[in-house]
Structure 1
Amino acid sequence: MKKIILSIAILAAVGTSSCRKDKQVTNDFNDLGTMTAFFEAYAPKAESFTLDAAVGGTITTTKGTKITFPANVFLDANNNVVSGNIKVHVKDILKASDMILGDKPTMDAKGGFLRSFGELIVKADKNGAELGIKKDSAQVVVPLGVREANGVGNKIPIWDGDTTVTYSSTGYNHVNAATAVTTSMKIPKGVNWIDMGTTATSNPAGTQSTFLLDALGQWRNCDALSSPSGTRITVLGYFTVNYNPATSDNYSGKEPTMLFFKQKNVNTLIKLYNVIVHAPAGKEGLLSYQQSFTVGMEGTFLAISSKNGKFYADMKDVTIPAPNGSDNYVGIDFAPQEVSEAGLIGLINQMNSK
């Protein structure tokens, strides 16, 4: 968890939402609340399993991820081995649509592109009490891998996912004594992936990858850092219409205007979340990390907005062009048009095949 010291107070506005059986999302508070409610309604959910901790066993998610727990590896808060029935909860993210809806893009701390072979978080509890696990005791097999020509198998780095930052703001209490207030908020890009120095192994056929689970309650990502060759540039996404000016660089994790990029035929999802400041009309929007794209890179952008209670979207297949003259950036125009909630979900799901 990152910690940022601020000298100003932080105010968070939280909207209320309602979700009907058909998942129709409405929110009368603000557009951020509408977008947040939409993501919460469609975000990938954890699957729960019952397991005898003294016996162990293998669980398989609906997406095909298998986790094998040996006997007597679950621990209580005092590091005592737990027995009896427990609940195991698994959330696994394997495709671009879930990365978008689950706010788990595949970028490292510097904006580098990560090719994902599975993101997941595993939790366990007994009678509501959170459990731990013996380090590297459980084996995870995700149904994604890298095929290697010599049939030896491939090593893929494991990344730890940090999803929050901690702010400390200073002020004065009721007796005028200086004091600090600590607040945790979501990372704006959803998650910050940090290389753990451990690896997963892909089978020779490239159909699955295997790694050991070192802890519970923490995001793990089996990812290969992509290093495409070519001229490095920054991409600025200009929303020519339907940009929501309430979009900011705050740490809510969601914004009323958002921009995503998926590299062609690669299981990668990039979130462009930095706001273009002091932008004139037609140039408002979001930009990438500096020099994180390469000229000639192919892929698909999905621009979405929530404005005045409506959703807007624009999907665009692109080849990143060379910059003009001595520019170190390229601008790409987006013109989001009104879409229904079902239409927006349809566009998000299309990203899986891009």
Structure 2
Amino acid sequence: MKNHFVHFAFIGILALSAGCKKKTDIDFRPETSNAVTNNSKGSLGAFFKNAALKPEVFQVNATTGGKFTSSKGITYTIDPGIFVKPNGQTAEGIVDVAVSEITKPSEMIMNDMPTNAIITPQDSARQDSINNPKIQEKGGMLNSFGEIKVEAKQNNEQLELKADAEVKVQIPQTAVPEPIVPTELVKTWTTRPVPTAGQIGHDFNNQVVFGATTMYESCFIWLEMPKPCIYLVNESNVPCLYMEVPRLNVYFNSDVLVEAPRQTTVLGYFTNVFNESETIENLDGKQSNMLFFKKKGDNAVYKLYNNILNAPEGKKGLLSYQNTMGIGMEGTFIALVNKDGKFYAEKKDATIGEPAAGKNFVGINFTLNEVTESQMLDLIKSVDYE
């Protein structure tokens, strides 16, 4: 495959009529976003819901198509006649199109959209469609150039895209903190649901525990798609990535896989505070204990989802998926707890080390301090500069 060095005086594939206008009085979140439902006082669910992105909404003529640019400078092109109603009829006339854009680490954390990835096998076995993935269960981390979700409604009725249609998206360098460079490795990834519970877990020494219900938050992991992004330089001489969104109401991501030849499992021990009151039954949007890792120098955030089982005091906490964190990787952890209506947090710089002799994991201790919501928000936002 060749690199795509394309310099446009005006990018022809995006040069449709820009007869679109922005709207601010439509909120797509209650019905269509990943916003949480936990509204109890002092909960991480309520905190994350309040901090979550609100989609930008634009009006587009579905019959003639159009083009619009978000406040982050990301341009969207809607081809004529690509929206369909639930009954299969082509939507005509004015449509409300909402775009959600996650472009920096703090937004990945606050919207609970980290860049954990499922890595596919080689080309011969890659997913042949987003509805029929052929995957190899091997984890990793992505360096993101933008997570994008497009939604569309007409008369409050959810729309979909026609088969083989897509929304064309152009992401400029100015929208993301990571430099955009010409590369064949920038792929498009989409989200894959992960089960909320399982029958195999791991204890504080990373030994398998069979028969116990292991609690996970409802989450998504990025799954590689076969179509790469294209490198462009726009009319203002700004490097851009061009990607296609082939499906509505789902996040798509333009990423490079973070290289990590040697990987291990990380156990995060919350030494002084951990909320053990959660059960499968009362988990309603966000965990009361969270642990994120922001890789140094990259637009990459990994979330450690799984509860450590059968742990004594000082060893309760969360662990990564098995063998998915790169040995030698530098970065910053953000540990969060909500307990008894109070928030606790720690920000900790760390390097993922080698497992000790005879061990199959690396343990990292966290000592959390009580914080206000404002302090917690500032702590999360600070990782954008790490």
Q: Post-superposition shift, 1:95?
A: 0.9
Q: Post-superposition shift, 1:188?
A: 2.3
Q: Is the 8 A contact 1:235 1:329 kept in 2?
A: yes
Give the whole-Å Cα distance in 2 for the aligned partners of 1:210 and 1:65.
10
- Higher mean C-alpha deviation, range 312-321 or range 63-72: 63-72
Give the whole-Å Cα distance in 1 for the aligned partners of 2:194 and 2:363.
30
**Where does 1:1-354 land on structure 2 (aligned, <5 Å)?**
16-17=39-40, 26-27=41-42, 34-109=43-118, 110-134=138-162, 135-143=164-172, 144=176, 147-148=180-181, 153-163=183-193, 165=195, 188=217, 190-203=219-232, 207-229=239-261, 231-247=262-278, 252=284, 254-354=286-386
Give the whole-Å Cα distance in 2 for the aligned partners of 1:317 and 1:332.
11
Q: Post-superposition shift, 1:252?
A: 4.7
Q: Post-superposition shift, 1:166?
A: 8.4
Q: Post-superposition shift, 1:40?
A: 0.7
* 1:173-208 CA-partner distances (Å, limit 9, x unpaired): xxxxxxxxxxxxx97263122222122113368832
- Higher mean C-alpha deviation, range 201-210 or range 107-116: 201-210
| CA distance 1:221–1:71, shift in 2 (3 Å) | same
Give the whole-Å Cα distance in 1 for the aligned partners of 2:196 and 2:157.
25
Report SS of the residue matched to 2:381: helix
Q: Post-superposition shift, 1:293?
A: 1.8
Give the whole-Å Cα distance in 1 for the aligned partners of 2:305 and 2:159.
35
- Higher mean C-alpha deviation, range 321-330 or range 244-253: 244-253
Q: Post-superposition shift, 1:79?
A: 3.3
Q: Is the 8 A contact 2:265 2:320 kept in 1?
A: yes
Q: Is the 8 A contact 1:273 1:286 kept in 2?
A: yes
Q: Is the 8 A contact 1:163 1:187 kept in 2?
A: no
- Normalising by structure 2, report the TM-score: 0.73
Q: Is the 8 A contact 2:180 2:241 kept in 1?
A: no
Report SS of the residue matched to 1:108: strand
* 1:223-255 CA-partner distances (Å, limit 9, x unpaired): 2222223x4221111111111123567875521
- The one-letter amino acid of 2:161's match is I
* 1:100-153 CA-partner distances (Å, limit 9, x unpaired): 1111111123431111111121111111112222333421112357644xxx55
Identity across matched positions, percent: 36
| CA distance 1:235–1:15, shift in 2 (3 Å) | closer
Q: Is the 8 A contact 2:39 2:45 kept in 1?
A: no
Give the whole-Å Cα distance in 2 for the aligned partners of 1:15 and 1:105.
20
Q: Post-superposition shift, 1:211?
A: 1.3
- The one-letter amino acid of 2:106's match is S
Q: Is the 8 A contact 2:195 2:218 kept in 1?
A: no
Q: Post-superposition shift, 1:41?
A: 0.8
Report SS of the residue matched to 2:224: strand
- The one-letter amino acid of 1:244's match is N
* 1:240-290 CA-partner distances (Å, limit 9, x unpaired): 111112356787552111100011011111110111111111111111111
Q: Is the 8 A contact 1:146 1:203 kept in 2?
A: no
> What residue ranges of structure 2 are gaps of 5+ in the alignment?
1-36, 119-137, 198-214
- The one-letter amino acid of 1:80's match is Q
Q: Is the 8 A contact 2:267 2:364 kept in 1?
A: yes
Report SS of the residue matched to 1:36: helix
> What residue ranges of structure 1 are gaps of 5+ in the alignment?
1-13, 18-25, 28-33, 168-185
- The one-letter amino acid of 2:349's match is D
- Normalising by structure 1, report the TM-score: 0.79
Give the whole-Å Cα distance in 2 for the aligned partners of 1:54 and 1:37.
40
Matched residue count: 305
Report SS of the residue matched to 1:260: strand
Q: Is the 8 A contact 2:38 2:285 kept in 1?
A: no
- The one-letter amino acid of 1:86's match is V
Q: Post-superposition shift, 1:327?
A: 1.7
Q: Post-superposition shift, 1:69?
A: 0.9
> How big is the alpha-carbon RMSD for the aligned residues of Structure 1 and Structure 2?
2.5
* 1:67-92 CA-partner distances (Å, limit 9, x unpaired): 11122222222333322111001111
| CA distance 1:187–1:278, shift in 2 (3 Å) | closer
